[in-house]
C-alpha cells in the first residue's frame, strides 16, 4: 500500500539520493586531490570530507521533505524554530564556530604546512614555532624551548604570520625531541 501510494515519490527520491551520492564522491575526490597537491595531512582531509557529507545529508533531508509533499510554509516554521534554538545555543559558543570556519578556510587556502617554522607577529604575545599539527579548532605549535602551544585557527587568520623556514621539522634534534634552534 505504501509503495503503491508513493511510487513516483520513491523513484524521484532514488534519483535525488543517487545524484547527491555522485556529488559526494566528486567533492571527496576533489578534496583529496587538492589536499595531496598542497601536502595536507590525512586527518584534515577526513574532517573536510565529514563536513561535506553532513551538508549533503541536510540538503537531502530538505529535498526529500519537498518530494513527499511538505509545504514551504510548514518547513519554514520547523526550520525557523530549530534555527532559533540552535542560534541561541551557538551564540554562546561563537568562538568554536569561528575556529571551525577558519579551519575550513585554512584547508583550502593556507600557505603554511605541517613542519614549517613560522613567526606569529603579535605585539602582546609573539610566537616563533614549528607547526606540528593543524586541527579543526587549533594549530599545535612547538616553540623554541620545546613546549607545545595550541593556537586558535581564527587568530591564525587575524594575525600577521611570517614564514621563517620551510619544512623546519627536519631540523628537530632526535635526541630530546626539541627543535634545533
- 34-80 pLDDT, tens digit per residue, is 888 888 888 888 888 998 999 999 889 888 888 888 787 877 887 78
pTM of the model: 0.55
The domain boundary residue, chosen from 40, 60, 92: 92
- In-domain check, residue 106: no
* Whether residue 15 is found in the same domain as residue 60: yes
Q: What's the CA gap between 177 and 181, in Å, rounded?
A: 12
pLDDT of residue 29: 94
CB-based contact 167:116 (threshold 8 Å): yes
Beta bridge partners of 139: 134, 151
* Whether residue 15 is found in the same domain as residue 58: yes
* Whether residue 10 is found in the same domain as residue 86: yes
* Whether residue 53 is found in the same domain as residue 128: no
Q: What's the CA gap between 17 and 88, in Å, rounded?
A: 32
Decide if pLDDT at 13 tops 50: yes
* Whether residue 123 is found in the same domain as residue 85: no
* Whether residue 88 is found in the same domain as residue 121: no
The total number of structural domains that make up the chain: 2
* Whether residue 123 is found in the same domain as residue 72: no
* Whether residue 85 is found in the same domain as residue 124: no
Q: What's the CA gap between 128 and 163, in Å, rounded?
A: 10
Band (pLDDT 50/70/90 cuts) for residue 92 is low
- 157-169 pLDDT, tens digit per residue, is 888 889 888 876 6
Decide if pLDDT at 88 tops 80: no
What's the domain range around 146? Answer: 111-171
C-alpha distances in Å from residue 178, one per residue of 8, 116, 149:
64, 15, 13
Which secondary structure element, helix H or strand E, spans residue 60, and what is its range? Answer: helix 42-67
Q: What's the CA gap between 88 and 28, in Å, rounded?
A: 32
- 131-154 pLDDT, tens digit per residue, is 998 888 888 999 989 999 999 988
Decide if pLDDT at 117 tops 80: yes
* Whether residue 25 is found in the same domain as residue 83: yes
Amino acid at each position: 500500500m505504501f509503495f503503491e501510494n508513493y511510487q513516483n515519490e520513491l523513484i524521484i527520491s532514488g534519483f535525488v539520493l543517487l545524484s547527491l551520492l555522485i556529488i559526494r564522491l566528486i567533492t571527496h575526490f576533489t578534496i583529496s586531490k587538492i589536499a595531496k597537491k598542497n601536502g595536507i595531512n590525512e586527518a584534515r582531509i577526513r574532517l573536510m570530507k565529514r563536513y561535506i557529507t553532513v551538508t549533503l545529508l541536510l540538503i537531502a533531508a530538505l529535498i526529500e521533505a519537498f518530494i513527499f509533499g511538505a509545504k514551504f510554509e510548514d518547513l519554514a516554521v520547523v526550520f525557523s524554530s530549530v534555527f532559533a534554538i540552535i542560534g541561541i545555543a551557538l551564540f554562546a559558543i561563537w568562538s568554536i564556530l569561528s575556529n571551525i570556519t577558519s579551519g575550513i578556510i585554512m584547508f583550502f587556502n593556507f600557505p603554511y604546512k605541517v613542519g614549517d617554522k613560522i613567526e606569529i607577529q603579535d605585539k602582546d604575545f609573539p610566537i616563533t614555532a614549528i607547526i606540528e599539527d593543524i586541527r579543526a579548532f587549533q594549530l599545535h605549535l612547538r616553540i623554541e624551548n620545546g613546549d607545545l602551544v595550541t593556537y586558535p585557527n581564527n587568530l591564525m587568520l587575524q594575525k600577521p604570520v611570517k614564514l621563517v623556514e620551510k619544512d623546519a621539522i627536519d631540523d628537530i634534534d632526535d635526541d630530546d625531541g626539541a627543535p634545533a634552534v
